[in-house]
Amino acid sequence: MKWFIMHMQKRILVCFIFWCSLAFADVREDINQKRQGIWFFDKKAFALSQEFLKLDSTYYVGWLYEAGAKYDRAQDEIGYFNAIKPLEKALKYIEKDFNNLLKVRTDDVTLYIPAYQAQQDYCMVMYLLYSCYMNIEKQEIAFNYLKKFKKKNLQKTFFLEPNNSMSWILHRCRVFTNSKYDFCQNTIEDNELAALRHIDTSMYQARKYYNWNAKIFPPDYINEDFYYNYHNKALIYTYLGVLDSAEYYYNYLKPTRYFSNNNYAYLKMVTADFSECERYFTIEKNQDNLAEKQTKEYNYMLGILNVYKGNSNKNLQELDEFTKSMGSTPGYGWNNIALARASYYSGLLSESEKYREKAEKFRELHINTSWGPEQYEYALSLFKYLNSQRRVASLLFQDRYWYLSLDTWLKLPKYLIQKYTDMFILTNRFGTNPERELAFYKLFNSESVMSFDEVWLTIEGFNTNFFLNKYNQYLKLEKRENVKRYYKYVIGRLLLKKGENDLAIRRLNEVIADKQLDPAFEKLLIARCYEGLALAYKAKEDYTQSDKFVNLLFQTYPSLLPFSELKMKMRLETNENNIDSPELKTILKDLKNTQIEWIDESTPGSFPKVVVGLTKNDSIKTAQFEYKAVQGESYKGFVQLEPGVSTGKKLAYALFNIPITEIEEVEKNDYWKIAIVVGGIFILWLAWYIKKTVS
């Protein structure tokens, strides 16, 4: 009897399990039916995932749909962390329940079809895990998931090829060593070689299963594994400067949908072919899906090209509109750095500082880009230094007799301390960056986020002989014809700093005389050469030649002049109307007090003329001016009078096409601070004098 009872219990248990499995299978089949036609990132995905989880929380599909919905909505680190939890559950359940299907390898389509959905979903789980960890800068965890994925040895990898993605991580982490990440090598070059080896392994894997997959999938579908590898090879060869190999792979990709206009534009940037570079970045911009969350590199790089073209004001407006339309999404920080650059070259110092501070406060995610936090922090430090340097230059431009001004003495020490503090921070970042040789010293590297001018502005305060030797060596080895003139420019400026004026003039004239020079895209280079030549002739006391190049600089890139060591000579006239107006007299006094060199009619030579007058319209007073060039275009403009603001100083900037909206003034209640500063300086001098006299 006891035996019979036990036997019946077992039979009942088996029947119950069998019945549950049938019900279980019916539920999962129901889930599979409901998911048809709905993508993981669909608007309905999250609601559907909750329904699936209520039906069966041990089936991976519900967790995968929840993760897909959360990943698609993620805008920051928290969002991607929220997607990781359901992904890990999806991975656990798919490996537990469908491990046998993940092992299927066959060229028989009838045998492969039952395993197809599980293998495709497994690839999606791994792709989302890899992407989430990469987006929150957890590269080592992402790399470990790829190693786990690689061991599955799937005959067709959907969405994510492990070896190819490992090569991307190595390129992304190229500046790190084995002490930071286990998967890294100990030099940048070794990391890039390891990345290329992973691509070769990926190519081997694609060839290994090619004949099997050819019996199951369409040709384009199985060839995509090769195309992704060509994409990464072209990217790495562009970075390493193996440009013929990069061009070879891009030409192979051009007829396919896997060709990247964005990456090809970088190849053209590296060769200083700026017109083609702009063309491909513009194509990328026009074709881009703005809803896709990633760093819009083309915006940043087109910003640099517009600076080269002297279109900073237009560029500033376009960038500002785009940044506002996109909001605080990934890439917002880089957009603000681009705005800081555009403002800087437009002469708008306060605007540049404002945008840089916005970028500094934003927690940037570097999605689908080889740019990383290290480059981001360097760009922030660069513009912090450039702006503090320009703050000093701007202060001195506004006041010809700054050394006699109490206002200036209140501000100048603070600005100088800030400038040298920022310079120290930038120098430290620059000196400890292992990529400085390849991506900073050598001009036009695909991973550099600096313009050639910013490279020069960074190194000009360092060891002149060191960089002179280095850039002479670069010029000897350089094969890129369009880049040679940029090395000649830097060499010319270094020779000028060394006091070798004749050699500097020769080098800079070589750049200006280069027949390949493109005036449309190389306006900044031309202007900087004019600036160097003006400084060189000034040092030689050849003021006729110096004035000539100052005028050429003004005609080419006027917004650079107020912040240079050069003074622009102009003739000043007043409009007959309001000639006795006290307001006009104040404006003229402040205007004459700037660093513009105002000359009278008796001074020989041809110089531009400025005519200033006052007008009143609907109780709004404006100072109008007409600039009459000796050669080139003349133009008119106006500056609105505001209480407590120096219209004359604003007018001085307007003459250089700089639309300053405000001038920083010292408040009256700050004069007690001036007294303390001056009193402190006097006490220190008196103490020093007494000590010297007594001794």
Mean pLDDT of 376-396: 93
| pLDDT, position 645 | 80
Mean pLDDT of 638-645: 81
Mean pLDDT of the chain: 88
Chain mean position to CA 395: 29
> Which of 16-20, 157-161, 544-548 bottoms out in mean pLDDT, i.e. has the lowest?
16-20
**Has residue 158 got a pLDDT over 80?**
yes
Determine contact, residues 593/400, Cβ cutoff 8 Å: yes
More confident residue, 491 or 694: 491
Binned at pLDDT 50, 70 and 90, residue 18 comes out as: very low
**Has residue 681 got a pLDDT over 70?**
no
Give the list of residues 6+ apart from residue 40 with CB closer than 8 angstroms, or none.
64, 65, 67, 68, 69, 72, 124
Binned at pLDDT 50, 70 and 90, residue 670 comes out as: low
HSE-up of residue 292 (Cα within 13 Å, Cβ side) = 10
639 SS3 class: strand
Mean pLDDT of 393-420: 85
| pLDDT, position 579 | 66
Q: Are strands 609-617 and 569-574 parallel, antiparallel or unpaired?
A: parallel
Pick the CATH number of 569-664 from 3.40.50.720, 3.40.50.2000, 3.30.160.150, 3.90.1150.10: 3.30.160.150
d(CA 358, CA 319): 14
463-566 has which fold?
1.25.40
| pLDDT, position 693 | 67
Mean pLDDT of 39-43: 91
- Please say whether the dihedral angle defined by the alpha carbons of residues 327, 330, 333 and 339, taken in this order, is positive or negative: negative
476 SS3 class: helix
Chain mean position to CA 243: 22
Chain mean position to CA 159: 27
Please give the structure tokens belonging to residue 366: 């570097």
| pLDDT, position 343 | 93
Determine contact, residues 31/49, Cβ cutoff 8 Å: no
| pLDDT, position 327 | 78
Determine contact, residues 184/149, Cβ cutoff 8 Å: no
Beta bridge partners of 571: 599, 609
Please give the structure tokens belonging to residue 438: 């390849």
> Which of 129-133, 435-439, 545-549 bottoms out in mean pLDDT, i.e. has the lowest?
435-439
d(CA 198, CA 204): 10
Query: How large a percentage of the chain has pLDDT more than 90?
Result: 64
Please give the structure tokens belonging to residue 393: 């230059």
**Has residue 147 got a pLDDT over 70?**
yes
d(CA 107, CA 75): 42
643 SS3 class: coil
| pLDDT, position 558 | 93
| pLDDT, position 667 | 46
CB atoms within 10 A of CB 431: 9
**Has residue 669 got a pLDDT over 70?**
no
Binned at pLDDT 50, 70 and 90, residue 668 comes out as: very low
d(CA 654, CA 577): 21
Determine contact, residues 268/276, Cβ cutoff 8 Å: yes
d(CA 627, CA 632): 11
2-258 has which fold?
1.25.40
